Amino acid sequence: MSVEKPPTSSEKLQKVLAASGIGSRREMERWIEAGRIVVNGNKATLGDRVEPKDKISVDGRPLKRLEPKEKRSRVLIYNKPEGQITSQNDPEGRATVFDSLPKIPGERWVSVGRLDYNTSGLLIFTNDGELANALMHPSSNVEREYLCRIMGEVDDQMLKNLVGGVQLEDGVARFSHIDIAGGKGINRWFQVTLSEGKNREVRRLWESQGMMVSRLKRVRYANVVIPPILSEGKWMELDQKGITELYKQVDMRRKRERRLTPAELTQQQRQIDRLKKRGTSGRNK
User: Among residues of the chain, what percentage have pLDDT more than 70?
Assistant: 83
| Res. 2: pLDDT tops 70 | no
Residue where a domain stops, chosen among 171, 202, 221? 221
Residue 271 lies in a domain: no
Question: Quick one: 133 and 231 in the same domain?
Answer: yes
Q: What is the pLDDT of residue 190?
A: 95
Q: 155 Cβ partners below 8 Å, 6+ apart?
A: none
DSSP string, 117-155: TT-EEEEEEES-HHHHHHHHSGGG---EEEEEEEES---
- Chain-centroid distance, C-alpha 1: 49
Question: Which CATH number is 22's domain given?
Answer: 3.10.290.10
Question: Quick one: 213 and 237 in the same domain?
Answer: no
Residue 5 lies in a domain: no
Domain of 203 in residue numbering reads as 143-221
Q: What is the pLDDT of residue 19?
A: 74
Q: 149 vs 182, which has greater pLDDT?
A: 149
Question: Quick one: 91 and 231 in the same domain?
Answer: yes
Q: 6 vs 229, which has greater pLDDT?
A: 229
Question: Quick one: 166 and 57 in the same domain?
Answer: no
Question: Quick one: 236 and 115 in the same domain?
Answer: yes
State the pTM of this model: 0.69
Question: Quick one: 81 and 126 in the same domain?
Answer: yes
Residue 119 lies in a domain: yes
Q: How many domains, in total, are found in the chain?
A: 3
Beta strand pairing status for 56-58 and 37-39? Answer: antiparallel
**Active-site choice (90, 116, 179, 273):** 116
The per-residue pLDDT for range 227-243, each reduced to its tens digit, is: 999 999 999 999 888 99
Question: Quick one: 79 and 213 in the same domain?
Answer: no
Question: Quick one: 160 and 98 in the same domain?
Answer: no
User: What 3-state class would DSSP assign to 16?
Assistant: helix
Residue where a domain stops, chosen among 221, 244, 277? 221
Mean pLDDT estimate for the chain: 84
Q: What is the pLDDT of residue 24?
A: 78
Q: What is the pLDDT of residue 15?
A: 83
How many separate helices (H) and strands (E) can be counted in the chain? Answer: 7, 17
| Res. 1: pLDDT tops 60 | no
Specify whether 116 is catalytic.
yes
The per-residue pLDDT for range 153-211, each reduced to its tens digit, is: 899 999 999 999 999 998 899 999 999 988 777 789 999 999 887 889 999 999 999 99
Of 70-74, 99-103, 142-146, 273-277, give the lowest mean pLDDT range: 273-277
pLDDT band at 103 (very low <50, low <70, confident <90, very high): confident
Question: Quick one: 177 and 80 in the same domain?
Answer: no
Q: 82 Cβ partners below 8 Å, 6+ apart?
A: 117, 118, 119, 120
| Res. 87: pLDDT tops 90 | no
| Res. 33: pLDDT tops 80 | yes
Residue 258 lies in a domain: no
Question: Which CATH number is 155's domain given?
Answer: 3.30.2350.10
pLDDT band at 66 (very low <50, low <70, confident <90, very high): low
Question: Quick one: 84 and 19 in the same domain?
Answer: no
Question: Quick one: 51 and 172 in the same domain?
Answer: no
